[in-house]
Structure 1
């Protein structure tokens, strides 16, 4: 008789703290590297093109968010489905999920890239681009759109590589691409003076290298052997992948919707203030990407718990499932408190890294940093609880939690509060939304644990 998979698989027997370090650290590094793609572009563009260039990268950010959303939909969904089936001992069924991740990403990525290139100008205007920023945004997105299939595969492929027990190689794929991006960014933007197009070209070359590394790994998958039939599209497999990946996907789509609304609000209410329409858009873009570095740690941590929680829920080892969640939340809260202190104490120092500005520029940036990100110390609870819910096979709860902060709270507040308080209302919307999302997450996880105990 074949041994129980829990005995053979380290996910079922090794200490949770050791497993969390093993899976979370590479995942955090991968997310940080993904964030640095945008940060590096922002840094070089800010020091060459200036405020309008920074505003353009903010306008372009929804495109990146769409790619991240699809990468998480297929990557986390496929990895969760694969690990759950492996936890149950279904080795013949599990590899179909990996193959369908690859096929689905390449098909959808190509369709999105073509669609963006065909409708570039109306899309950027819809994303909130003022006329004086549109040319810069077209230069940037017109090039980065070509690399969309490579970007999505790099993101999604990292998750299915981690699911195979190789988190270090997943980290390497992202790290190599990022290093290439940084080197080429300096060369193309600072030396050749290619400005927006140079930054975009450096980005897609780095993404392509990561893509090649992921594809090469899949040829030598460790836990199961991938065959041609595993890559044939299956509606049943893709449906299961989508159901388990819908939580992080929904969260990213919600972020995109909020970002578009935020850009339009910043431009409109900024024009009515003494800041003008470009300063709020540029400052918010920089601060959002700095905050993305903090969230990269939190999201990486939440992704790191996925294979541990998924395997042990499949093996019905509920005490290890609970321990995984609790350790992740404690770790995330420590990181959040450190980030909160930095955002409150050093806002001007951080914003100065991305170039110089006027008195109004620094005034808005400092206020936006301190007010918009005031609840950072509590912001680990919602994403960790959301991802955890999906990882244990409760995608509806995970999706609901993913939408609480962005759609249920933040989106209406961004629309309503500026009507009363002007552009300052946009700043106060975020801490209110963050606090509400944290409270709801605590209520949901208590219910999950209570039912798990029963």
Structure 2
């Protein structure tokens, strides 16, 4: 049966075993997401070793700009790839190529706008993001270089999403992986040998992003399987915008919420840190490291969600409900296991994990350990929540995806960061994390139960 489908040119997303497909698509996506996290972590590790906690605080201050860029990337990349997957499932390859062209043009335009606005309002933004007299110069140096690399960063992230939908998850992974290796090599050279400081770390990052972007652009020019760059489609198609971008809104909202969260958290850490024995810059730097660790763990779960999207979207378009249900259940289980393992590691081995970011003074280390253990106390609930949002996004339910994507950060975590410190000081910021994680999980659960019942009923009737 499988051989006859291959001979007829059927898409493997419609007939290969779900477990095999999920592994095939999720592993490259996980590696790609980890690599994107590692870009920032590598910067922080080498800056911590070569400059100290003030340099790390500067990267934390600049991080909201990174999340703004990622919000645009996920809006375009996740929305475009989800819509293209549905069109490929409906055997409408030209519509998928229109989507590719539209998303690419929008990516270029968006990156130019980010650069212009970023340089025009850099100092006010950095002050808003928590920069102090001690950290402003470092933050300005790091941010100015990172802004110049925005087009390369956005192209690499958006096209890696499209490459997975095109049936080349390994290529997407390799493009990002090559960039990460180069970033890791150049960082110590620029910081320790050439003594370029935080500016050198940022330069290493954008060099690696350029190489990743060039790799993916070349693929869609010469080797795309179902989608390639066509001159006639390199324009903005209004129908694609109306249909594809809503599917990426939930991912974009998640990143926008991350930006707002980072701004609120940075300022709260500085204020309440300065009113404690810890100090604002120490609190900001420690939480920056903890957030990078959290981002790394969640990125694995996001990778599983992203890996499931082409499978879900294609089979949704092809009306293969049993395959949709199996993909959903398997992806949710895998991501839950990942988040549980990460939670155990953070609770049992906080010291060794934090030691990767440099040897700091005793006061910093003690607060960082407490910060990691308390703030990550509810991270075990993160896995299935990420996959649920990806599921609704991939199956053409953008409203549900958008609402669920806002739960943890906008509806719970940000208000808790503002309210709890009024009563518990700096500790209130730490405990806001687990309270938000567990509360959002309790609300997401009924959505999961209802959707599974609906899928089961559809499978019985099919």
TM-score, length of structure 1 as denominator length:
0.97
Give 2:315's aligned residue: 312
Alignment partner, residue 173 of structure 2: 171
Please tell me whether residue 450 in structure 1 is matched to residue 453 in structure 2: yes
Deviations 1:22-64 (Å, cap 9, x if unpaired)? 0000000001111111011101110111011010000011111
Residue pairs, 1:184-263, within 5 angstroms: 184-220=186-222, 221-263=224-266
Is residue 25–residue 164 contact of structure 2 (8 Å, CA) maintained in 1?
Answer: yes
Match for residue 102 of structure 1? 104
Q: Distance in 1 between matches of 2:296 and 2:385?
A: 17
Q: Tell me, yes or no, if the aligned pair for 1:337 and 1:376 is still in contact at 8 Å.
A: yes
Matches within 5 A, 1:71-220: 71-220=73-222
Equivalent residues of 1:11, 1:308 under 8 A apart:
yes
CA shift for structure 1 position 214: 1.1
Are 1:43 and 2:48 an aligned pair?
A: no
Aligned residue for 1:299? 302
User: Residue 267 of structure 2 is aligned with which of 244, 257, 264?
Assistant: 264
Alignment partners' CA distance in 2, 1:253 and 1:322: 30
- Are residue 29 (structure 1) and residue 25 (structure 2) matched? no
Which of 369, 374, 386 is matched with 1:371 structurally?
Answer: 374
Structure 1's consecutive aligned runs of 4 or more residues displaced over 4 angstroms after TM superposition are 3-7
Aligned residues: 452
For residues 293 and 416 of structure 1, the distance between their equivalents in structure 2, rounded to whole angstroms, comes to 27
CA distance in 2, matches of 1:250, 1:190: 38
Q: Tell me, yes or no, if the aligned pair for 2:100 and 2:162 is still in contact at 8 Å.
A: yes
Counterpart-to-counterpart distance in 2, 1:6 and 1:26: 27
Residue in structure 1 matched with residue 352 of structure 2 by the alignment: 349
How large is the Cα RMSD of the aligned pairs?
1.5
Q: Which residue of the partner structure matches residue 69 of structure 1?
A: 71
Q: 1:5 touches 1:87 (CA, 8 Å); kept in 2? A: no
TM-score scaled by structure 2?
A: 0.95
Change (3 A) 1:6 1:247: farther
1:9 CA displacement: 1.1
CA contact (8 A) 1:5 1:89 kept: no
Q: Deviations over 1:229-278 (max 9, x none)?
A: 21111222122221011111110110111111000000000000000111
In structure 2, C-alpha distance between the alignment counterparts of 1:226 and 1:51, rounded to whole Å: 45
Partner residue of 2:428 out of 425, 429, 443? 425
Residue of structure 2 equivalent to 1:52? 54
1:403 counterpart residue number? 406
CA distance in 1, matches of 2:189, 2:389: 40
3-state SS of the aligned residue for 2:134? helix
The answer to whether the Cα contact below 8 Å between 2:301 and 2:387 also exists between their aligned partners in 1 is: yes
**Do the aligned residues in 2 keep the contact of 1:6 with 1:12 (CA within 8 Å)?**
no
- Distance, in Å, in 2 between the alignment partners of 1:134 and 1:224 is 45
How many angstroms does 1:4 deviate by? 12
5+ long unaligned stretches in structure 1: none
Q: 2:332 — aligned with what?
A: 329
How far, CA to CA, are the matches of 1:115 and 1:337 in structure 2?
A: 40
